[in-house]
């Protein structure tokens, strides 16, 4: 069994699969420049839908709200997820670990409608009991998003921390550094790429969520997916195509930049490790 051949059944399926994944997105981009209200019937090139998009206050406001929510959510989720991932990767068995693992992995597969209704009922009950959160809106959306995003970040951080070389931290501890200092000076820089990846993942998940936000949001707080959904329900519309194209463009650029950065950091890390190994070889 030598090199894999592209002209085989799996090779052909690979091309079919990529076609399946990308043709719809490419069509969306193409139709966003279509000068016809019918969207899927070609009527020449235009950029007017982009102009209309930027004049639509409802969409702009919703987009700004969604970006704020996503940024705050991602930050909270990274803090919670790193702590949970650290506990799961490092602390071995502790009391309640079973329940903890369960609560961390369950949100990954929990149907969104169930998460949504359960959080809403919690917020309503809390408001009755302690008067907080007063009404629903941005705060409740952030709490709800942070909860399920933290689960994803935990998985990312746990797998990164498991593969981390513990001897670096042990060396620092042996040399008298305090555990907190070790975490911030040794552990944190090493896991930084995973932290960035986790943050971006949480950001995207939050920006993308329609169902949970619809349940826990209140009047006046409509996120971008909520506005898009109510428009899309009435059928295809050209300005949504323009919005989608912008979204795909930003995400693609973001992913390319992020992966380039992570790739470079990984390279430096490997080089540093090799240098360290070489130095170790000389001294021993």
Partner 1 sequence: MADSDSETGDGHGRRSSDPLSWIAGRVTAFFAGSRRGVILVPYLWLLLFFLVPFLIVLKISLSEYAISQPPYTPLLEWVDGIYLEIRLNFGNYLYLVEDDLYAISYLNSVKIAAISTLLTLILGYPMAYAIARSDAKIRTALLMLVILPFWTSFLIRVYAWIGILKDNGVINNVLIWLGVIDQPIQMLQTDFAVYVGITYSYLPFMILPLYATLQKLDISLLEAAADLGCPPWRTFLTVTLPLSLPGVVAGSLLVFIPAVGEFVIPALLGGPDTLMIGRVLWQEFFNNRDWPVASAVAIAILLLLVVPMVIFQWSQARSTERDA
Q: Which of residues 49-78 bind partner 1 (CB under 8 A)?
A: none
To the nearest whole angstrom, how small is the minimum distance from the Cβ of residue 75 to partner 1?
14
Enumerate residues 219-258 that contact partner 1 by CB under 8 A.
Answer: 225, 228-229, 232-233, 235-236, 240-241, 243-244, 247-248, 251-252, 254-255
Q: Where are the alpha helices (DSSP H) in the chain?
A: 9-31, 48-55, 57-90, 97-109, 112-130, 138-162, 166-174, 179-182, 188-208, 211-216, 224-232, 238-283
From candidates 109, 130, 134, 278, binder to partner 1 by CB under 8 A: 109
Q: Give the list of residues 6+ apart from residue 277 with CB closer than 8 angstroms, or none.
A: none
Question: Is residue 24 within the footprint of partner 1 (CB under 8 A)?
Answer: yes
Cβ atoms within 10 Å of 7's Cβ, excluding its own: 6
Establish if 104 lies at the interface with partner 1 (CB under 8 A): yes
Supply the minimum distance, in Å, between the C-beta of residue 221 and partner 1: 16
Select the residue interacting with partner 1 from 67, 71, 143, 168 (CB under 8 A).
143
CA-CA distance, 124 to 118, in Å (whole number)? 10
Choices 44-52, 56-64, 153-161, 273-281 (CB under 8 A): range interacting with partner 1: 153-161
Q: In the range 178-207, which residues lie near partner 1 by CB under 8 A?
A: 178-180, 204, 207
Contact status: 4 vs partner 1 (CB under 8 A):
yes
44 is a site residue for partner 1 (CB under 8 A):
no
Nearest-approach distance from CB 278 to partner 1, in angstroms: 25
> In the set 73, 187, 206, 214, which binds partner 1 (CB under 8 A)?
214
How far apart are CB 119 and partner 1 at their closest, in Å? 5
Question: Residue written as tokens 């994944």?
Answer: 21
Which of 76, 75, 114, 80 has its CA nearest to residue 100? 80
Shortest distance, position 64 Cβ to partner 1, whole Å: 16
User: What DSSP assignment string belongs to 86-97?
Assistant: HHHHHS-S-TTH
Does residue 21 touch partner 1 according to CB under 8 A?
yes
Under the criterion CB under 8 A, does residue 27 sit at the interface with partner 1? Answer: yes
Distances from the Cα of 198 to the Cαs of 65, 141, 169, 187, in angstroms?
Answer: 21, 19, 22, 16
Helix (H, G, I), strand (E, B) or coil at 47: coil
Residue 210 C-alpha from the chain's centroid: 14
């Amino acid at each position: 069994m030598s090199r894999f051949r592209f002209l085989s059944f799996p090779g052909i399926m690979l091309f079919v699969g990529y076609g399946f994944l990308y043709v719809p997105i490419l069509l969306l981009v193409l139709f966003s420049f279509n000068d016809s209200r019918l969207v899927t019937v070609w009527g020449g090139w235009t950029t007017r839908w982009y102009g209309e998009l930027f004049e639509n206050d409802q969409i702009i406001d919703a987009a700004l709200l969604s970006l704020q929510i996503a940024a705050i959510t991602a930050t909270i989720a990274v803090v919670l997820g790193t702590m949970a991932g650290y506990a799961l990767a490092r602390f071995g068995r502790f009391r309640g670990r079973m329940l903890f693992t369960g609560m961390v992995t369950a949100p990954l597969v929990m149907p969104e409608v169930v998460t949504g209704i359960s959080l809403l009922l919690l917020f309503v009950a809390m408001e009755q009991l302690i008067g907080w959160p007063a009404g629903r809106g941005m705060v409740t959306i952030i709490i709800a998003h942070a909860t399920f995003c933290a689960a994803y970040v935990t998985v990312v951080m746990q797998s990164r921390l498991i593969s981390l070389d513990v001897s670096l931290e042990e060396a620092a501890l042996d040399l008298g550094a305090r555990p907190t200092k070790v975490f911030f000076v040794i552990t944190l820089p090493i896991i930084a790429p995973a932290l960035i990846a986790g943050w971006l993942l949480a950001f995207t998940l939050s920006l993308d969520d329609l169902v949970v936000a619809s349940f826990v949001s209140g009047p006046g707080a409509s996120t971008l997916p909520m506005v898009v959904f109510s428009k899309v329900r009435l059928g295809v519309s050209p300005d949504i195509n323009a919005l989608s194209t912008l979204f795909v463009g930003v995400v693609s650029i973001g992913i390319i930049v992020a992966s380039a950065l992570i790739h470079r950091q990984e390279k430096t890390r490997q080089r540093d490790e090799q240098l360290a190994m070489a130095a170790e070889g000389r001294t021993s």
